């Protein structure tokens, strides 16, 4: 009888330890998942900041007679496409939705880059304080976007490693934690853009 009680006590103690481990691992994964969500919110904030600057930039550039309408149209259309892509916290759980988001943002980045190259031909535009201020804000925003994307990828890496590492991977699998997608470089970004005047 004494051996049976000791055995039952050991089983109960083991059961308590497993439950405590499961709770700790689950809570740790939730914390990492929220880190990813927070990083994603920062990415969205910076992209929204850029999208909010575009109409001001376009309005300032439109004031210059003879400015290439094709370039402005490309910027306006790219911004509209960015606005049409639905994003939320679930976007990070869907690699195809994240890819669509990245592609739309990449088109806006390219259109804005072309706009800045074309602006070089208009010294009177570059000389205005309004344009200079907007250009400076846009450059700062692009830097913030790069930092936010890097921070997001780091949070995703930490989360993905946690859900794939034993024995936490068992808890992740049992609780439905899924791998998150990373931001990736835009196709062709390894090549320097060709600039012609």
Which CATH number is 110's domain given? 1.20.1440.20
Q: How many CA atoms lie within 13 A of 120 on its CB side?
A: 9
| Integer Cα distance of 142 and 74 in angstroms | 19
Most confident range (mean pLDDT) of 72-76, 89-93, 118-122, 140-144 is: 140-144
Within a domain: 64: yes
Within a domain: 187: no
What is residue 94's three-state secondary structure? coil
Q: How many separate domains does the chain show?
A: 1
66, pLDDT greater than 70? no
159, pLDDT greater than 90? yes
111, pLDDT greater than 80? yes
| Integer Cα distance of 58 and 72 in angstroms | 7
Q: What is the pLDDT of residue 152?
A: 96
| Integer Cα distance of 65 and 63 in angstroms | 6
| Integer Cα distance of 99 and 116 in angstroms | 25
Residue 144 lies in domain = 2-175
Within a domain: 69: yes
pLDDT per position as a tens digit, 5-45: 888 888 899 999 999 999 999 999 999 999 999 999 999 99
| Integer Cα distance of 116 and 186 in angstroms | 19
| Integer Cα distance of 143 and 56 in angstroms | 19
Within a domain: 182: no
Q: What is the pLDDT of residue 192?
A: 45
Within a domain: 53: yes
Within a domain: 189: no
94, pLDDT greater than 90? no
Within a domain: 36: yes
Within a domain: 192: no
Q: Does 7 sit behind a cis peptide bond, omega within 30 degrees of 0 on the bond before it? A: no
């Amino acid at each position: 009888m004494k051996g049976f009680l000791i055995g039952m006590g050991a089983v109960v103690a083991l059961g308590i330890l497993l439950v405590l481990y499961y709770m700790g691992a689950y809570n740790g994964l939730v914390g990492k998942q929220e880190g990813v969500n927070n990083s994603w919110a920062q990415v969205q904030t910076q992209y929204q900041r850029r999208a909010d600057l575009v109409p001001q930039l376009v309005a300032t550039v439109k004031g210059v007679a003879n400015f290439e309408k094709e370039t402005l149209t490309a910027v306006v259309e790219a911004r509209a496409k960015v606005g049409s892509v639905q994003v939320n916290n679930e976007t990070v759980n869907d690699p195809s939705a994240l890819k669509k988001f990245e592609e739309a943002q990449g088109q806006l980045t390219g259109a804005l880059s072309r706009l800045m190259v074309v602006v070089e031909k208009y010294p009177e535009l570059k000389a205005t304080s309004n344009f200079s201020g907007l250009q400076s804000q846009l450059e700062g925003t692009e830097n913030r976007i790069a930092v936010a994307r890097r921070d997001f990828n780091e949070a995703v890496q930490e989360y993905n490693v946690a859900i794939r590492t034993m024995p936490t991977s068992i808890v992740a699998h049992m609780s439905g934690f899924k791998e998150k997608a990373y931001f990736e470089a835009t196709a062709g970004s390894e090549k320097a853009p060709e600039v012609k005047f």
